[in-house]
Structure formats: C-alpha cells, structure tokens
Structure 1
Amino acid sequence: MAVKGFERWIEQGEQIDYPAVQNCLKTMNNWQEEICNYHHLRFTNAAVEGRNNKIKALQRRHYFTRNPKYYKQRILLECNEELLSC
C-alpha cells in the first residue's frame, strides 16, 4: 500500500515543472525503499541518533579526559541516565 501511494505521489510530482521539485523527486526515488519501510513499520533510528548526539556532546565537554575507563563509564552513565532515574 505504501509503495502504490509513493508511486502515485511521484507521478503527481513529475507533472510539476520546477527544478527544486524535480531534484526532490530524484532524492525520493533514491530513498524509496527506506521511505516505504518507514510508512509500513513506523520505526526510526532516532534513539540511536540521540545517543550518538549525547556521546558527541560528551566528547566536546571532556576533550582532555585521559583515563579511558572513566571516559567509558561517563558515556554509559550519560546514555542511560533515564534508566537510572527510575
């Protein structure tokens, strides 16, 4: 069902003669499988991206941390603080 809707949407978009729309349609065609999978399953990698963002922020704050054991413990604490607050 998502594939048929996607294809219909692409066909409608191809009728619009505007460079930005055509560029967007090209990108959408390249990512068709992923877009249809999202609409079928409603599953994203937002949780993983959020944890990566927390780790990058920790790296910026603790740039000169020399103790790798402390650094690893701090990452685990930072990424799992919502589990610890229960």
Structure 2
Amino acid sequence: MGGVWQFGDWACQFHAFCGSIFGYGQIATLIFISYDRYNVVVNGVAARPLSYGKVMVFLLFIWAFASFWAIGPLVGYGSYALDGILAS
C-alpha cells in the first residue's frame, strides 16, 4: 500500500509463492469442476460418473501443475510481480 515491505526478502518470496501456488491451484480446480459439470450436462445419465480414483488423479495433477509454475521463480526462472491492484 505504498510502504516498504518490512518482513525481509524471505517473507516476501514466501508470500508471493503462497499466492502463486494457491492461485494456480484454484484456477486448475475450477477447470476440472467445469469439465465434470460439462460432462454431466452434455452426456446426462450416460456420462461416466466421477470416481474416487479419477478425483485423486485430478488432485495430483492440480498440485503438480500449481507447484511447477509456482516454484519456478524461487529457483531463478522468472520472477514474481505485483498483483493487479498493486497491493502486494
């Protein structure tokens, strides 16, 4: 909000990492929920039901995807940037 980040570089990187991993995880989760709803609406009763195994594969993919993109700036590939409203 216009001031200096007072918690140091490590806390700044951790804050940005958490924002990245949970943001990517949220987006990927919404994609898979949308896919499931699309499948049910288009195919109706004939749609293959969502099984426990399929959900676990989706969750594994979501966390792997989010981790891959969020860890990059921590290891020197790219960087974290300000959010859209320039608050953090």
**Which band: TM-score by shorter chain?**
0.3 to 0.5
TM-score of the aligned structures, taking structure 1 as reference length: 0.39
Q: Which has the higher helix share?
A: 1
Select the structure with the greater relative contact order (CA < 8 A; seq sep ≥ 6): 2
**Bigger radius of gyration among the two:** 1
